[in-house]
Amino acid sequence: MPLTASRYGKARVRVMRLTRDGDHHTPRELDLTVLIRGGFDAAWTEGDNRACIATDSLRNIVNVAAANNLSAGAEDFVGAVAAILLETYPQIAEVSVEARETRWSRHAVDGAPHGHTFLRDGNGFGYAGLVAERGSRRLRSGLRGFTFMKTTGSGWAGFVDDGYRTLPDTTDRIAATSMDATWTWARAPHDYAAANAAVLARLLEIFATTYSAGIQDSLYRMGEAALAALPEIAEIHFAMPNKHYIPLDLSPFGLANPGTVFLPTDEPHGQIEATIGRT
């Protein structure tokens, strides 16, 4: 039977590139699929892998291209990946590189663009929930899946050091979360839409402008600030997964990584939840 078509490669290769100009950072996050076609038929028909390139090598090439092309847009970046493959491996006849971009919009605090705080485009969903009985009701508003990030001003250090710990202390890391926040109304505000917008603005202001010793630390202070700003709120509940960006070790390729190339990971993630109320 003839082998009429074949290709292989690596999918879901995720990489974050971060350019730093003092306090002004620019994140570029991509999810790539890299597929190659060429002189590999023997791997299918004869079990002969001698011409094959490991898919891990394809992933590593993406990371090397990231380190060498920090500022390239998606179109130029996929070209850089393809160029490395075609120049390195004569057995490749065709490279297909597709990239899906996670777009981060710079957040503004007091009308000024913030140097290292970003919101994800097309962000989240509004939420409203009501539990009503005869003579009583509990109304809640909030957000679901509202995703934001800051590329510095966050750490995680001083936690339990035992035989299972592998994570080192850090005082400078990317902090990102996809937040579910729900606030319960003690009484109706003058305008729900305006009040909800004010809650979000206060949450983001605290997150952006204060150092975070951990998601727990930010979460609590964000909740305090929301309650202080809106007396109509009785309590606020958060569920904030810690979306990790892990610095990539590029030393096997003779490259340094001064906090500019990261592996985005969603699973498993830290899940941080709390409710902040009034005394």
Could you write out the DSSP letters of every residue in 139-180? EEEEEEEEEEEESSSB-B-S----TT--PPPBSS--EEEEEE
Catalytic residue among 10, 107, 150, 243: 10
Angle between helical axes of 55-68 and 74-88 (0-180°, round to 10): 130
Q: Kindly state whether residues 83 and 172 are assigned to the same domain.
A: no
For residue 141, being part of any structural domain is answered with no
Q: Is 162 exposed, middle or buried (0-12, 13-18, 19+ CB in 10 A)?
A: exposed
**What pLDDT is recorded for position 113?**
95
Q: Kindly state whether residues 72 and 32 are assigned to the same domain.
A: yes
Share of the chain above pLDDT 70, in %: 100
Q: Kindly state whether residues 130 and 150 are assigned to the same domain.
A: no
For residue 48, being part of any structural domain is answered with yes
Query: Residue for token digits 């810690």?
Result: 242
**What pLDDT is recorded for position 267?**
87
**What pLDDT is recorded for position 279?**
85
Which domain CATH number covers 77?
3.10.270.10
Check the annotation: does 55 bind a ligand: yes
For residue 71, being part of any structural domain is answered with yes
Catalytic residue among 114, 116, 150, 244: 244
151 is annotated as an active-site residue? no
For residue 3, being part of any structural domain is answered with no
88 is annotated as an active-site residue? no
Q: Which residues pair with 7 in a beta bridge?
A: none
Q: Considering only CA atoms, give the Rg of the chain.
A: 23
Q: Kindly state whether residues 58 and 126 are assigned to the same domain.
A: yes
Check the annotation: does 31 bind a ligand: no
Q: Which of 134, 164, 196 is the last residue of a domain?
A: 134
Beta strands, E only, the chain: 8-21, 24-38, 92-102, 104-109, 112-120, 125-133, 136-150, 175-185, 233-247, 261-277
Token pair of 39 as six digits: 């002189």
Q: Which of 104, 134, 164 is the last residue of a domain?
A: 134
Q: How far is CA 42 from CA 8, 36, 91, 148, 202, in A?
A: 13, 15, 12, 47, 61
For residue 232, being part of any structural domain is answered with yes
Q: Kindly state whether residues 28 and 112 are assigned to the same domain.
A: yes
For residue 139, being part of any structural domain is answered with no
For residue 268, is the peptide bond before it cis, meaning its omega torsion is within 30 degrees of 0? Answer: yes
Residues constituting the chain? 279
Check the annotation: does 91 bind a ligand: no
Q: Kindly state whether residues 164 and 121 are assigned to the same domain.
A: no
Query: Contact, 232 vs 213, CB < 8 A?
Result: no
Catalytic residue among 26, 55, 102, 210: 55
The rounded distance, in Å, linking the Cα atoms of 71 and 120 is 19
The rounded distance, in Å, linking the Cα atoms of 74 and 60 is 18
Q: What is the pLDDT of residues 196-237, one digit of tens each?
A: 999 999 999 999 999 999 999 999 999 999 999 999 999 999
Cα 159 to chain center, whole Å? 23
Q: Which of 134, 160, 188 is the last residue of a domain?
A: 134
Q: Kindly state whether residues 101 and 28 are assigned to the same domain.
A: yes
Quote the domain boundaries for residue 194. 146-277
Q: Kindly state whether residues 250 and 229 are assigned to the same domain.
A: yes
The rounded distance, in Å, linking the Cα atoms of 174 and 149 is 7
Check the annotation: does 56 bind a ligand: yes
Amino acid residing at 196: N
Q: Kindly state whether residues 68 and 120 are assigned to the same domain.
A: yes
Task: Please list, in sequence order, all residues whose beta carbon lies within 8 angstroms of the beta carbon of residue 268, skipping any fewer than 6 positions away.
Answer: none
Task: Give pLDDT < 70 ranges for the chain.
Answer: none
Q: How many domains does the chain have?
A: 2
244 is annotated as an active-site residue? yes
Check the annotation: does 173 bind a ligand: yes
Task: Give the dihedral of Cα atoms 16, 20, 25, 28; nearest 10 deg.
Answer: -20
Q: Kindly state whether residues 209 and 108 are assigned to the same domain.
A: no
